[in-house]
Amino acid sequence: MPDHQPLTDHEAETLDAHWRALNYLSACQLYLRDNPLLAEPLRAEHIKPRLLGHWGTCPGLGLVYTHLNRLVRERGQRALGVWGPGHGAAAVLSGAWLEGTFGELNPDAPRDAEGMLRLFRDFSQPGGIPSHTAPEVPGSLQEGGELGYSLAHAYGAAFDNPDLLVCAVIGDGEAETGPLAASWHSDKFLDPVHDGAVLPVLHLNGYKIANPTVLARLPEEELGALLHGYGYEPLFVTAAPDTPHPEVHRAMAATFDTALGHIRSIQHAARSAGTGTGGPAEGTPHSARPRWPMVVLRTPKGWTGPRELDGAPVEGTWRAHQVPLPGVHDDPEQLRQLEHWLRSYGPRELFDEGGRPLPHVVECVPDGDLRLGSVPEANGGRLLRQLPLPSLKPHGVQVDRPGGGSHEPTRVLGGLLAELLTATEERRDFRLFGPDETDSNHLNGVYEATGRGWQGEYEPTDEHLSPHGRVLEVLSEHMCQGWLEGYVLTGRNGLFASYEGFANIVASMAAQHVKWVHSAREVPWRRPVAGLNYLLTSHAWRQDHNGFSHQDPGFVDHVLSKSPDVVRAYLPPDTNTLLCVADHVLRTRDTVNVVVAGKHPCFDWLDLEAAWAHCARGLGVWEWAGTEREGEEPDVVLACAGDVPTLETLAAASLLREWLPGLAVRVVNVVDLTRLMPPSQHPHGMPDGEFDAVFTRDRPVIFAYHGYPWLVHRLTYRRTAHDRMAVRGYREMGSTTTPFDMVVRNGMDRYHLVMDVVDRTPGLGARAVRARQAAADMRERHHARVREHGTDLPEVTDWRWPGR
Amino acid sequence: MPDHQPLTDHEAETLDAHWRALNYLSACQLYLRDNPLLAEPLRAEHIKPRLLGHWGTCPGLGLVYTHLNRLVRERGQRALGVWGPGHGAAAVLSGAWLEGTFGELNPDAPRDAEGMLRLFRDFSQPGGIPSHTAPEVPGSLQEGGELGYSLAHAYGAAFDNPDLLVCAVIGDGEAETGPLAASWHSDKFLDPVHDGAVLPVLHLNGYKIANPTVLARLPEEELGALLHGYGYEPLFVTAAPDTPHPEVHRAMAATFDTALGHIRSIQHAARSAGTGTGGPAEGTPHSARPRWPMVVLRTPKGWTGPRELDGAPVEGTWRAHQVPLPGVHDDPEQLRQLEHWLRSYGPRELFDEGGRPLPHVVECVPDGDLRLGSVPEANGGRLLRQLPLPSLKPHGVQVDRPGGGSHEPTRVLGGLLAELLTATEERRDFRLFGPDETDSNHLNGVYEATGRGWQGEYEPTDEHLSPHGRVLEVLSEHMCQGWLEGYVLTGRNGLFASYEGFANIVASMAAQHVKWVHSAREVPWRRPVAGLNYLLTSHAWRQDHNGFSHQDPGFVDHVLSKSPDVVRAYLPPDTNTLLCVADHVLRTRDTVNVVVAGKHPCFDWLDLEAAWAHCARGLGVWEWAGTEREGEEPDVVLACAGDVPTLETLAAASLLREWLPGLAVRVVNVVDLTRLMPPSQHPHGMPDGEFDAVFTRDRPVIFAYHGYPWLVHRLTYRRTAHDRMAVRGYREMGSTTTPFDMVVRNGMDRYHLVMDVVDRTPGLGARAVRARQAAADMRERHHARVREHGTDLPEVTDWRWPGR
């Protein structure tokens, strides 16, 4: 029983006028630098010198824009668009211009002929608006370049946004990607009580750049089964080139109305019950997961554009992908075709002489912040609030003397996160994401505060599942990342905790997010969003049991290759420093923060106060660990970054204290890697003078670093006498083995560091030679034991001051 | 109508004996270092000091191993296993040990008690066998650590292997990943005439590390619809803890028989018709894509293991994931439970007193190379043949003088690849893979030789589709990469051509492949496989039109951070060098080759002979481009790597020749980036003496590099006077703009290079100051033009000798 009326003729006409206006504006963005209203015959000089853009997807995107407008206006449903085929930015820009948001945000492009021309000229021009959806495009929250993330972004946006409808347009090209194919299953994680709804619109226009798409060539029965299998109720809208437009609008309106009705009844049922559809209490069997509606929209590619060119079909084919008439500069026939095409939309029936849209064209457009280009979630910083971060005091671990005790850093962090999750229980603006590793990463303290969100069936053997949980776990790093991005970009906060070795699964997504944030910072009306936070644990040095495939510390390298105004990397050496770093990154804005920390017992080096001061500096001398004499330069600097390197460095310092008591050793620990860079290269960069004060100007530096050694060289190569720096780190020598064997294989063990000190510090004499030999002997002895017994002795995982 | 008989009781008994033996051996690998046959009561000293491994998935994997054996032996079907839940390596090792292949490849671990103990001890031990499937594991061709790739690997293995059945076991954890979710659609690309069959076995054991799995919690109707929608005919086998084992074996055998019968009839129909099921000629409508069978195997996690521990259920839950009785060292009750568990398999009924498997246990095991651990495709190098690489001569472009003409490098390469595809038409051991970018990347010459493989429906507007095509295009970089890996690892050759900016989508897959190859090199019985080749084009400098999201040259950095014995990176500066590099990489073994080359018109600098010599050296001085005098050191070195940097460098050299005729400029071009490294760090590394001869020992070097500048610093920081090197490259300053604006934004334009030369070369005098000013002025003038008109003038994209 439909809860809606069919469109009147008038409504169908006004919707069609809006859509034609969108199509007209989209096509013109690709072509025109003058004569925006076609007030005069189209001539070559009206055409842009360089034709850029993607026409093929625009008419379909435009159709969704038009009908989403109607849904918002007529049905009072607040909605956010996620434009998967973002290379069709022209369509989204057209919608934003037509509804007035583009002109409000860009006062030089108001809703008149001049503003229209400004839009056309700026599109795809240097210094103008990118050809893909980008921060410059109102109402968009993702780059349209690298495909695959729209559906995950849409779910991320919908989480904890109960009144919002997120309409995700998914191109049939994008639908072939892995991340998108997995993301359909996000419906198993959407809580109908606390979350909003996602309405996927699978837009089948049949072709990618040159190939047919997989999904468009499935028999409808098979496609229906696939989407049913993903958990959805697919509603089909199919338009052919010759389908009368009023018919299309009636079908779209009815379908959107049906979908919204279905969504509202799911939400109503769940919210009345108070706990989710079917209303089970936590932990009870639950098999009434709602079947959310979705739309399959089948339209010709480049619909309403040129039917053919030089006898070859264009509309409905891959030839419509980009610029369907590429030869308009030189070919008068193509220019004529273009004019015919553009005039087919009837610009004079859409705009007045001054270029203002006529009233019936914008009749479907909602008001104010309900407009798709103005909905606050698309500029999430507008909604962002400071998190109620707990005091660190109750969580900090007591440290009477450095190394006097040990804790699992991530486990303690779990307690802090639990408190934060409790503090945000009502606000629901913080979530934890992970690929089924929350327990493995020792963060399971969070279950004191909330469960793992789960809308699937329950079994008695489950633990910590809850329909309303704010920990989201699925074995897809892509989904975790996409959800978090969508969550952050709509004004909320989160943390993605992952095995370090598998973080590169989302390397490209992280890079695209950095690019988005970097660009958004340059768009005056974009408000800062929360940092995107990674906690990388179960790291390379302690994946000895899982072996080589789990050992890859390169994500930090990757992230630090991107825009320095956005990227940050922290390697807290112990529990209290991890707490301080976590507190910091959760306060940052417009950043991507990578925190690398261990989950295994780790000596406590700094009490909370010292940790706070150390993290505030980002790096510093640990006087207590060295043997330098006040007022004198040390003989050698032992530097370290990361928990395992810190342990090995302190153990080496300890051995040196015993074996070479006259040697003045300075120990430096680095928490914030970007402090090593010059201020010209990173906002956290340290001035040369400060750097020299810490590392001296000429003493050998033996640097034990958590990841690939060359990263430290890269960050420091402009520093004074960089040649004196020897960096030890992970050099891809991994296997299934023991923790000690891992550091030995990679030359970062305490004994090797001692040998480095002797080798690189001139004038140490015979005693040093003996110390070196002792180190080499102990290294070999312990290593032989590993090979024989398969386990480490405490001596090589422990640390103590000599003589204590 | 089944084409098979139900199992006899004897068959069911022998299959069960085999499976029990597998389970026994798997469990023992986790625990035992002594008493392998339980000849005496189990005591603490028989237990390994460190318990590592994943029990949960082993029984299910073992069941598939057993029944795959039967299928091979009874039905004469050659089969390859792809073990998606590769963390259950113990099960695969058990199968290999039991069939004798493990002992043949590892003579210290024969099929007796001593060999059995060797297997137990080596498992997960330092220097032994990794805990995940790895090159050390016979019959495996993928690492079991990073999940998501088994199905794509299986299809890659099946392509062009018409007689092979590839059984891909997919864990329900892995099934949540994006790459796996997308890979189901590989059925649209499998040619039943020329390719073998893939039999996916979706193994639902219900839990991941701690969470339920999405697919295991779907109602069976919904799961069936999903798999039907993916194009398969799912056959269900369901076992509960108390299902009698003979019943399970009967169901498995019947299901495998049914599946095989179905596969054979698809293949028979297709091969009789000669062109594919339904047998359409190329380009005609085609809608009878076969519906391949697959198996859904539902079993308890940790099946047949301990039912519970301390009152909590273990079998059938996440608690069975790793080591189900972790406390056997200290808890006598757990030790007793372990002994009870191990004895439940009846080792005395499985092995004789010497530890040799009794005949009925191995009755299902096939012979010789039909054994799963010995099938040649699992050690693909055994099958690899040298490609019939065409002569380069007919493809090389004529170069009368450097820069006298221009070609699109990838377009010319397309011609070479077409000839190679034609030459391998019968052998079918070379394929091209890409995410729908073959046309866009100007490689479409390949369609002269073959089509794009496609088993879906055909439309009249399609081009170059063919049921038998050997170009595979799908908009999933993960699938392209996974297919290519599977293809290469089974002894064939291929090339993955992709937009450079999106290569990082498969960053982690590339790293895992490098790790695999690196480890395989150390396994004596593994034969070398073909290089895995990337052609990265549509690169950062010429994605000006697509904008920032398409600009990322970081894949080279990523790959070069991995094992140097495997990784290679080439940046051919023009068409003929690209041909030479392509010829080279297609001959390499056990490598991962990244080739970066442009698709846009590029000046031809070297004729084929010179290109060959230049590529053989990997880098070299281009005397014709410089102005140094014979026998004298140059004043400055201009170095370059990559097509756009080479153009800018030569243009800068040209300007300097005109403006500062007295300046002795040397131009160095680098094709093989790893030549810059010291020989100690890379097998291609150049000795210091040679490096100094090319770059001098003290002259300033202005290096224009294609990607992130710090990579060149990383590769060269140990070289003489590294400080003198100034590297220009991409520094993340991108947008939608023009090619010239791209180089200006990133400071790599010709004018900037001239300014660098003046700034860094001491004692040049007043004329140089004026030249610098001229360069700065021209830079600004052209840049202003870009901002105003949106296009570049030919002056900034062209190159010429001064005065010509």
- The 10s digit of each residue's pLDDT in B434-449 is 999 999 999 999 999 9
A317 contacts on B by Cβ (under 8 Å):
461
State how far residue A504 is from chain B, nearest Cα, in angstroms. 5
B111-165: pLDDT as tens digits: 999 999 999 999 999 888 988 999 999 999 998 889 999 999 999 999 999 999 9
pLDDT tier, B295 (very low <50, low <70, confident <90, very high otherwise): very high
B332-344: pLDDT as tens digits: 999 999 999 999 9
Q: Containing H/E element for B406? A: strand B406-407
Among candidates A126, A507, A563 on the partner chain, residue whose Cβ is nearest the Cβ of B787: A126
A738 contacts on B by Cβ (under 8 Å):
50, 126
Indicate if the pLDDT at residue B330 is higher than 90. yes
**Residues B260, B348: Cα–Cα separation, whole Å:** 34
Dihedral through CA B189, CA B190, CA B193, CA B194, nearest 10? 100
Q: Which has the closest alpha carbon to B567: B587, B595, B540, B539?
A: B595
State how far residue B641 is from chain A, nearest Cα, in angstroms. 19
Average pLDDT of chain B? Answer: 95
Return the structure tokens found at B594: 């990244």
Preferred mutation among B174, B441, B466, B475 to probe A, highest tally of A CBs within 10 A: B475
A21-79: pLDDT as tens digits: 999 999 999 999 999 999 999 999 999 999 999 999 999 999 999 999 999 999 999 99
Indicate if the pLDDT at residue B281 is higher than 70. no
Among candidates A132, A456, A462 on the partner chain, residue whose Cβ is nearest the Cβ of B214: A456
Indicate if the pLDDT at residue B283 is higher than 80. no
A126 contacts on B by Cβ (under 8 Å):
735-738, 741, 786-787, 790
Q: Would you call B511 and A504 a contact, using CB atoms and an 8 Å cutoff?
A: yes
State how far residue A375 is from chain B, nearest Cα, in angstroms. 24
Q: Would you call A504 and B508 a contact, using CB atoms and an 8 Å cutoff?
A: yes
pLDDT tier, A804 (very low <50, low <70, confident <90, very high otherwise): very low
B500-551: pLDDT as tens digits: 999 999 999 999 999 999 999 999 999 999 999 999 999 999 988 888 999 9
Q: Would you call B511 and A208 a contact, using CB atoms and an 8 Å cutoff?
A: no
The pLDDT value recorded for residue B275 is 52
The pLDDT value recorded for residue A274 is 60
**Cβ-Cβ contacts under 8 Å for A184 (sequence gap 6 or more):** A151, A200, A227, A230, A231, A232, B181
Q: Which has the closest alpha carbon to B651: B556, B555, B537, B792?
A: B792
Greatest Cα-to-Cα distance within chain A, rounded to the nearest angstrom: 99
B311 interfaces chain A, CB cutoff of 8 Å: no
B148, amino acid identity:
G
- Which residue on chain A is closest to B208 by alpha carbon? A436
A547 contacts on B by Cβ (under 8 Å):
130-132, 134, 145
At A279 the three-state DSSP class reads coil
State how far residue A390 is from chain B, nearest Cα, in angstroms. 28
CB atoms within 10 A of CB A163: 9
Q: Would you call A465 and B50 a contact, using CB atoms and an 8 Å cutoff?
A: no
- Which residue on chain B is closest to A735 by alpha carbon? B130
Residues B402, B58: contact at Cβ < 8 Å?
A: no
At B641 the three-state DSSP class reads strand
Q: Which has the closest alpha carbon to B238: B199, B301, B314, B296?
A: B296
Return the structure tokens found at A116: 């229209």
Residues A622, A668: contact at Cβ < 8 Å?
A: yes
- Which residue on chain B is closest to A739 by alpha carbon? B126
Burial of A690 per CB tally in 10 Å (0-12, 13-18, 19+): middle
Q: Which has the closest alpha carbon to A193: A260, A142, A268?
A: A268
A485-494: pLDDT as tens digits: 999 999 999 9
Among candidates B208, B546, B737 on the partner chain, residue whose Cβ is nearest the Cβ of A126: B737
At A763 the three-state DSSP class reads coil
Residues A397, A542: contact at Cβ < 8 Å?
A: no
| Helical ranges in B33-148 per DSSP H | 58-75, 89-99, 101-105, 113-122
**Residues B418, B447: Cα–Cα separation, whole Å:** 7
A171-192: pLDDT as tens digits: 999 999 999 999 999 999 999 9
B755-798: pLDDT as tens digits: 999 999 998 999 999 999 999 999 999 999 988 888 898 888 88
Q: Which residues does residue B498 pair with via DSSP β-bridges, in sequence order?
A: B536
Q: List C-alpha distances in Å: B21 to A439, B15, B42, B365, B452.
A: 32, 10, 18, 13, 46
The pLDDT value recorded for residue B794 is 85
B148 interfaces chain A, CB cutoff of 8 Å: yes
Q: Would you call B504 and A511 a contact, using CB atoms and an 8 Å cutoff?
A: yes
A465 interfaces chain B, CB cutoff of 8 Å: yes
**Residues A723, A221: Cα–Cα separation, whole Å:** 67
Among candidates A182, A439, A512 on the partner chain, residue whose Cβ is nearest the Cβ of B181: A182
Look at strands A619-621 and A592-596 and give their pairing.
unpaired
Dihedral through CA A244, CA A247, CA A248, CA A250, nearest 10? 160
**Residues A603, B95: Cα–Cα separation, whole Å:** 43
- Mean pLDDT to the nearest integer, A380-386: 97
A784 interfaces chain B, CB cutoff of 8 Å: no
Indicate if the pLDDT at residue B366 is higher than 70. yes
The pLDDT value recorded for residue A2 is 52
Total-model pTM: 0.97
Domain B406-602 belongs in CATH node 3.40.50.970? yes
B144 contacts on A by Cβ (under 8 Å):
549
A316 contacts on B by Cβ (under 8 Å):
461
Would you tell me which residues 614-643 of chain B have a C-beta closer than 8 angstroms to some C-beta of chain A?
Answer: none
Of all residues in chain A, what percent are helix, strand and coil, respectively (each to 5)?
Answer: 45, 15, 45
What was the ipTM of the complex prediction?
0.97
Q: How many CB pairs under 8 A join A and B?
A: 370
**Residues B522, B339: Cα–Cα separation, whole Å:** 36
- Mean pLDDT to the nearest integer, B98-103: 98
At A600 the three-state DSSP class reads coil
A124 interfaces chain B, CB cutoff of 8 Å: yes
The pLDDT value recorded for residue B800 is 79
**Residues A279, A10: Cα–Cα separation, whole Å:** 43
Q: Would you call A125 and B552 a contact, using CB atoms and an 8 Å cutoff?
A: no
Would you tell me which residues 520-579 of chain A have a C-beta closer than 8 angstroms to some C-beta of chain B?
Answer: 545-550, 552, 554, 557-558, 561-563
Q: Would you call A437 and B209 a contact, using CB atoms and an 8 Å cutoff?
A: yes
Among candidates B148, B208, B547 on the partner chain, residue whose Cβ is nearest the Cβ of A436: B208
Indicate if the pLDDT at residue A516 is higher than 80. yes
A402, amino acid identity:
P
Domain A9-278+288-376 belongs in CATH node 3.40.50.970? yes
The pLDDT value recorded for residue A630 is 87
A50 contacts on B by Cβ (under 8 Å):
545, 738, 790-791
The pLDDT value recorded for residue B265 is 97
Residues A414, A537: contact at Cβ < 8 Å?
A: no
Q: Would you call B181 and A176 a contact, using CB atoms and an 8 Å cutoff?
A: no
Return the structure tokens found at B599: 């698709």
- Mean pLDDT to the nearest integer, A277-301: 73
Indicate if the pLDDT at residue A278 is higher than 70. no
A240 interfaces chain B, CB cutoff of 8 Å: no
Size of chain B, expressed as the number of residues it contains: 804
**Residues B560, B557: Cα–Cα separation, whole Å:** 5
Among candidates B177, B507, B548 on the partner chain, residue whose Cβ is nearest the Cβ of A182: B177
Indicate if the pLDDT at residue A528 is higher than 80. yes
B440 contacts on A by Cβ (under 8 Å):
209-210
What sign for the dihedral angle of Cα A182, A183, A184, A189?
A: positive
Strand positions, DSSP E, A111-164: none
CB atoms within 10 A of CB A703: 26
- Mean pLDDT to the nearest integer, A714-743: 92
Query: Which CATH code of 1.10.760.10, 3.40.50.11610, 3.40.50.970, 3.40.50.300 fits the domain covering B9-274+290-376?
Result: 3.40.50.970
Dihedral through CA A149, CA A155, CA A156, CA A162, nearest 10? 160
Q: Which has the closest alpha carbon to B587: B382, B420, B389?
A: B389
A786 contacts on B by Cβ (under 8 Å):
126
Residues A626, A402: contact at Cβ < 8 Å?
A: no
Among candidates B129, B229, B790 on the partner chain, residue whose Cβ is nearest the Cβ of A229: B229
- The reply to whether A407-602 shares the fold of A9-278+288-376 is yes
- Which residue on chain B is closest to A152 by alpha carbon? B178
The distance from CA B665 to its chain's CA centroid, rounded to whole angstroms, is 42
The pLDDT value recorded for residue B274 is 60
Average pLDDT of chain A? Answer: 95
Among candidates A134, A228, A507 on the partner chain, residue whose Cβ is nearest the Cβ of B225: A228
pLDDT tier, A802 (very low <50, low <70, confident <90, very high otherwise): low
pLDDT tier, A281 (very low <50, low <70, confident <90, very high otherwise): very low
Q: Would you call B176 and A552 a contact, using CB atoms and an 8 Å cutoff?
A: no
Residues A113, A37: contact at Cβ < 8 Å?
A: yes
**Residues A401, B216: Cα–Cα separation, whole Å:** 50
> What Rg do the C-alpha atoms of chain A give, in angstroms?
30
- Mean pLDDT to the nearest integer, A224-231: 98
State how far residue A245 is from chain B, nearest Cα, in angstroms. 24
- Mean pLDDT to the nearest integer, B293-316: 97
For the domain A407-602, what is the CATH code?
A: 3.40.50.970
- Mean pLDDT to the nearest integer, A298-320: 96
Domain B618-796 in this protein, CATH class: alpha beta
CB atoms within 10 A of CB B577: 27
Indicate if the pLDDT at residue B19 is higher than 80. yes
- Mean pLDDT to the nearest integer, A286-309: 92
For the domain A617-796, what is the CATH code?
A: 3.40.50.920
A228 interfaces chain B, CB cutoff of 8 Å: yes
Strand positions, DSSP E, A172-231: 197-204
The pLDDT value recorded for residue A546 is 85
A294-322 in b/e burial notation, b at 16+ Cβ within 10 A?
A: bbbbbbbbbbbbbbebeeebbbbbbbbbb
Return the structure tokens found at B246: 């003979």
**Cβ-Cβ contacts under 8 Å for A709 (sequence gap 6 or more):** A703, A727, A728, A729, A730, A731
Q: Which residues does residue B640 pair with via DSSP β-bridges, in sequence order?
A: B669, B704
The pLDDT value recorded for residue B798 is 85
A789 contacts on B by Cβ (under 8 Å):
49
Preferred mutation among A177, A190, A208, A562 to probe B, highest tally of B CBs within 10 A: A177
Among candidates B507, B708, B738 on the partner chain, residue whose Cβ is nearest the Cβ of A126: B738
- Mean pLDDT to the nearest integer, A236-247: 96
Indicate if the pLDDT at residue B166 is higher than 50. yes
A71-80: pLDDT as tens digits: 999 999 999 9
Domain ranges across chain A:
9-278+288-376, 407-602, 617-796
At B203 the three-state DSSP class reads strand
Q: List C-alpha distances in Å: B39 to B21, B342, B554.
A: 16, 12, 58
